[in-house]
Amino acid sequence: MLTQSQLVELLADHGQPSYRATQILDWIFKKRAKSWDEMTNLPESLREDLAGKYPLRPLKHTLTKGSKDTTRKFLLELGDGRYIETVLIPASPALYGERSDRHTLCVSSQIGCAYGCKFCASGLDGFTRNLSAAEIVSQIILAEELSGEKVNNLVFMGMGEPLANFKNLCVALEMITSDWGLKIGGRRITVSTSGLVPQIKNLAELPQQIRLAISLHGPDDETRDKIMPVNRKFPVGELFGALRVWNSKKNQKITLEYILIDGINADPEHAMILAKRAASIKAKVNLIPYNKVEGLEWVRPSDTACRKFQNVLTQAGISATLRLEKGHDIDAACGQLRLKKEKGTL
Ligand code: SF4
C-alpha cells in the first residue's frame, strides 16, 4: 500500500501515466479490491509486476472475540507469522470523540513494545518490530469488512507506542485522512503516547488536526516513575513543556489518560496535583480504574475511591470522565490475546 505521491513516482518508473495512481487508489480504498487481478482497467503486465512486490492484503484474520453489541477483538496474522490485535468498540458516550454513535477502532502500531509501562501486557514480551503503514491501515479496512460497519473514530491505543514508529505513523495518517484514502477526518483520530517529548513536538507540526492523548498515570515524577519507565527519560516537567508546544499549534484539547491503581496513584493528594497539571494545559482527564493484568499484582481502587478522585478534579474545574464498568479492558490490557496465541495457550 502506497501513498498517492509514492504511487505516482513508482508508476513513472514503470513508464505509466500518473492517472494510473488514481485508478489504483480507487481500487484499494473505494472499491476495496482484495487482489491486483481485480483492477481490470490496468494493463495486465503492470498488475503482475505490482502484485509480486506489493501485497494488497498484508493481514489475515485469525479469530474474533466478542459480539456485535460488545467490544470485538480481531486477532490478525501478519506476513511473517506474527500476530496483532485490533479492537472495535461499539458506540459509547464515554469513549473518545464527542458523539456517542461512533464505531471506534483501536489500532496497533507495533508488534510488542519497548516502553514497558507497568500496567500493560503489550510490553511484557518486549519489542519485535514496527508495523508498516500498510499494516496499520489494513487493520481498518479488515475491521470494516469483518464487521460490516464503517469505522468513524480511530484511536492509536493498541499494541505499541505509535510515536516510536513515527515515520510509518505519518504515512498511515496520510492514507487514513486523505480524500484519495479512507477519508477519516483528523478530529476523529486520537494518537495516544506514553510521552515521547521530541515526537510530540514533531507530531504537532502535521497538517491534520488529530487529537492527542497522553498515558500520564502519575501527576509527579515520583509516582509516574513507578508506573511508566519512560518518565526517567522524559520527566513530567519536560512532557508538559511539549504539551504546551502542542497547544500552541493545535486547536484540540489534550486528553490525559489516568489508570487508577490502589495505593499507587489514586489518593486525593494525587488528584489535586493532577488537577493543577491538567489546568496548566487545559486538558481533560480520562480516569480508568485498573483492570487486572496476568502477572501483575496491582489492584483496582473501590468505586467510592474512584468517584472521590473524580470529584477532586471536577471541583477544580477539570472535565474528568470515569468508566466504572468492568470488561472495557482495551486501555489497560492490550496485547493479551496476541501473547496467548504466540505462546500457544489460546
Ligand atoms: S501502554 Fe503503550 S507504550 Fe506503554 S507498554 Fe503498553 S503499548 Fe507500550
Residue 218 sits in the same domain as residue 76? yes
Question: How high is the pLDDT of residue 324?
Answer: 79
Residue 135 sits in the same domain as residue 163? yes
How much is the average pLDDT of 259-286? 97
Ligand 1 site-directed mutation target among 115, 127, 129, 293, most atoms within 8 Å of CB: 115
* Exposed/middle/buried for residue 98 (C-beta within 10 Å: 0-12, 13-18, 19+): exposed
Distance between CA atoms of residues 235 and 180, nearest Å:
40
Nearest-atom index, ligand 1, CA of 121: 6
Distance between CA atoms of residues 227 and 100, nearest Å:
31
Residue 220 sits in the same domain as residue 169? yes
Question: How high is the pLDDT of residue 338?
Answer: 56
Q: Which domain holds residue 337?
A: 57-342
**Residue count of the chain:** 346
* Exposed/middle/buried for residue 10 (C-beta within 10 Å: 0-12, 13-18, 19+): middle
**Does residue 113 carry a catalytic annotation?**
no
Nearest-atom index, ligand 1, CA of 160: 7
pLDDT reading at 329 higher than 50: no
Residue 203 sits in the same domain as residue 71? yes
CA atoms within 13 A on the CB side of 82: 17
How remote is the CA of residue 51 from the centroid of ligand 1, in Å? 35
Q: Are 290 and 217 spatial neighbours (Cβ–Cβ below 8 Å)?
A: no
How much is the average pLDDT of 299-315? 97
Residue 259 sits in the same domain as residue 138? yes
How remote is the CA of residue 276 from the centroid of ligand 1, in Å? 25
Of 56, 83, 100, the last residue of a domain is 56
Q: Are 31 and 9 spatial neighbours (Cβ–Cβ below 8 Å)?
A: no
What HEC string does the chain produce? CCCHHHHHHHHHHCCCCCHHHHHHHHHHHHCCCCCHHHCCCCCHHHHHHHHHHCCCCCEEEEEEECCCCCCEEEEEEECCCCEEEEEEECCCCCCCCCCCCCCEEECCCEEECCCCCCCCHHHCCCEEEECCHHHHHHHHHHHHHHHCCCCCEEEECCCCCHHHHHHHHHHHHHHHHCCCCCCCCHHHEEEEECCCHHHHHHHCCCCCCCEEEEECCCCCHHHHHHHCHHHHCCCHHHHHHHHHHHHHHCCCCCEEEEEECCCCCCCHHHHHHHHHHHHHCCCEEEEEECCCCCCCCCCCCCHHHHHHHHHHHHHCCCCEEECCCCCCCCCCCCCHHHHHHHCCCC
How remote is the CA of residue 225 from the centroid of ligand 1, in Å? 14
Residue 202 sits in the same domain as residue 64? yes
**Does residue 85 carry a catalytic annotation?**
yes
| The model's pTM | 0.91
Q: Which of 85, 135, 174, 257 is catalytic?
A: 85
How much is the average pLDDT of 211-235? 97
Distance between CA atoms of residues 110 and 333, nearest Å:
15
Question: How high is the pLDDT of residue 160?
Answer: 93
Question: How high is the pLDDT of residue 119?
Answer: 84
Residue 297 sits in the same domain as residue 337? yes
Nearest-atom index, ligand 1, CA of 110: 7
Q: Could you tell me which of 53, 75, 78 has the C-alpha nearest to residue 1?
A: 53
Residue 176 sits in the same domain as residue 310? yes
Q: Are 43 and 53 spatial neighbours (Cβ–Cβ below 8 Å)?
A: no
Nearest-atom index, ligand 1, CA of 194: 3
Q: Which of 106, 113, 306, 334 is catalytic?
A: 334
Of 40, 56, 72, the last residue of a domain is 56
Residue 268, Cα to own-chain centre: how many angstroms?
Answer: 30
Nearest-atom index, ligand 1, CA of 159: 7
How remote is the CA of residue 289 from the centroid of ligand 1, in Å? 17
Q: What is the CATH number of the domain that holds 44?
A: 1.10.150.530
Residue 109 sits in the same domain as residue 23? no
Q: Are 231 and 218 spatial neighbours (Cβ–Cβ below 8 Å)?
A: yes
Residue 176 sits in the same domain as residue 292? yes
Domain count, the chain: 2
Q: Atom 4, ligand 1: which residue's CA is nearest? A: 117
Residue 44 sits in the same domain as residue 190? no
Of 26, 56, 86, the last residue of a domain is 56
Pocket of ligand 1 (CB under 6 A): 113, 115-117, 120, 122-123, 159-161, 194, 215
Percentage, residues of the chain above pLDDT 90: 71
Q: Are 229 and 121 spatial neighbours (Cβ–Cβ below 8 Å)?
A: no
Residue 33 sits in the same domain as residue 178? no
How remote is the CA of residue 52 from the centroid of ligand 1, in Å? 35
Question: How high is the pLDDT of residue 331?
Answer: 42
Q: Mean pLDDT, the chain, as a whole number?
A: 89
pLDDT digits (tens, 9 = 90+) for 89-144: 887 544 454 555 678 899 999 999 999 988 887 777 789 999 999 999 999 999 99
Q: Atom 3, ligand 1: which residue's CA is nearest? A: 161
Q: What is the CATH number of the domain that holds 330?
A: 3.20.20.70
Ligand 1 site-directed mutation target among 106, 111, 113, most atoms within 8 Å of CB: 113
How remote is the CA of residue 160 from the centroid of ligand 1, in Å? 6
pLDDT reading at 257 higher than 90: yes
Distance between CA atoms of residues 76 and 84, nearest Å:
5
pLDDT reading at 328 higher than 60: no
pLDDT reading at 278 higher than 60: yes
